[in-house]
C-alpha cells in the first residue's frame, strides 16, 4: 500500500491522536503536580491548564475512535473542533510572540488587581517578593500590598514581584508562543489527515455499502 492510501492515512491519524493524548495527559499531570505540591495553589490558571489538557485528551480520543472505525460523523466533528482549536491556539501563540514589555506590565497589573489576597500572598511567598510595581500609577495598591506582605525577605530590601516576573516573562512567552505555534500546525495536519481519510474508501469494506 502506497503512503497515500487508506491504511497509511489511518495509521498516521491514529499516531497523531496518540501524541495529542500524551500531551493532554502531560498537561494534566504537570498541573496536578504543581497544585499537589502547593505551588501557588490558589491561582485559578492551574484549573485552566487541567481543563485544557482534559479537553485535548477528549478530542484525541474522539479522533482515535473515529480513525479506527472510519466513523464519518466522529471524524467530521473532530475536524471542525480541531480547526477551531487551531484558530484559537494560533492567535494566542502569535500574541505571546508579539507581546512587548509594556504590554506585559499592563497584563500583570490587570491580573494582579483581580487576584485574591490569598493568591497574592502565595505568589509573594513563592517568589520572595512584595507588591507588583512600585510606580506612580500603582503606588496606593503597592503600599497596601507591602503592608500585608509576609515574604521571608526584609520588606525594605525586597524586589517587587513585577520585576522578578518580568525577568523571565519574555523568555517564557517566547517558549510558550513557539511551542503553541508548532502544535497549532500539527493540528492543521490533523484536520487535513482527517479530511483526506474521511473521503477515502476502505478497501476491505463491502463495495455496495454507503460511505
* pLDDT 10s digits, 146-189: 777 777 776 567 778 888 777 777 777 787 778 778 888 888 88
Q: 1 lies in a domain?
A: no
**What is the number of domains present in the chain?**
1
pLDDT of residue 170: 73
Q: 138 lies in a domain?
A: no
Closest CA to 87 of 194, 184, 210: 184
Q: 210 lies in a domain?
A: no
Residue 40 binned pLDDT confidence (cut-offs 50, 70, 90): very low
- The Cα-based distances of 59 to 12, 54, 84, 155 in angstroms read 16, 9, 12, 48
Q: Which domain holds residue 33?
A: 8-99+147-199
176: CB partners within 8 A, 6+ apart: 93, 96
Measured CA to CA, the distance from residue 47 to residue 208 in angstroms comes to 49
Q: 118 lies in a domain?
A: no
Closest CA to 196 of 8, 57, 42, 65: 8
Closest CA to 65 of 78, 52, 54: 78
Instruction: Please give the grid coordinates belonging to residue 37.
Output: 505540591
Q: 47 lies in a domain?
A: yes
Q: 208 lies in a domain?
A: no
179: CB partners within 8 A, 6+ apart: none
Q: 211 lies in a domain?
A: no
Instruction: Please give the grid coordinates belonging to residue 75.
Output: 471524524
pLDDT of residue 18: 92
pLDDT of residue 209: 45
Q: 75 lies in a domain?
A: yes
Amino acid at each position: 500500500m502506497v503512503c497515500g492510501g487508506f491504511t497509511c492515512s489511518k495509521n498516521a491519524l491514529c499516531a497523531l491522536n496518540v501524541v495529542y493524548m500524551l500531551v493532554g495527559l502531560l498537561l494534566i499531570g504537570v498541573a496536578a503536580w504543581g497544585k499537589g505540591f502547593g505551588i501557588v495553589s490558589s491561582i485559578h490558571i492551574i484549573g485552566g491548564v487541567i481543563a485544557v489538557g482534559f479537553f485535548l485528551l477528549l478530542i484525541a480520543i474522539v479522533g482515535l475512535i473515529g480513525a479506527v472505525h472510519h466513523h464519518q460523523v466522529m471524524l467530521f466533528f473532530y475536524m471542525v473542533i480541531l480547526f477551531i482549536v487551531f484558530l484559537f491556539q494560533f492567535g494566542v501563540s502569535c500574541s505571546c510572540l508579539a507581546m512587548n514589555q509594556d504590554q506585559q506590565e499592563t497584563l500583570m497589573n490587570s491580573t494582579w488587581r483581580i487576584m485574591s489576597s490569598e493568591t497574592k500572598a502565595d505568589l509573594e511567598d513563592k517568589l520572595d517578593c512584595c507588591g507588583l510595581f512600585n510606580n506612580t500609577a500603582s503606588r496606593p495598591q503597592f503600599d497596601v500590598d507591602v503592608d500585608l506582605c509576609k515574604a521571608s525577605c526584609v520588606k525594605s530590601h525586597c524586589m517587587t514581584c513585577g520585576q522578578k516576573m518580568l525577568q523571565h516573562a519574555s523568555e517564557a512567552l517566547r517558549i510558550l508562543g513557539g511551542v503553541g505555534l508548532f502544535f497549532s500546525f500539527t493540528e492543521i495536519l490533523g484536520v487535513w489527515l482527517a479530511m483526506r481519510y474521511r473521503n477515502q474508501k476502505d478497501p476491505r469494506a463491502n463495495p455496495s455499502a454507503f460511505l
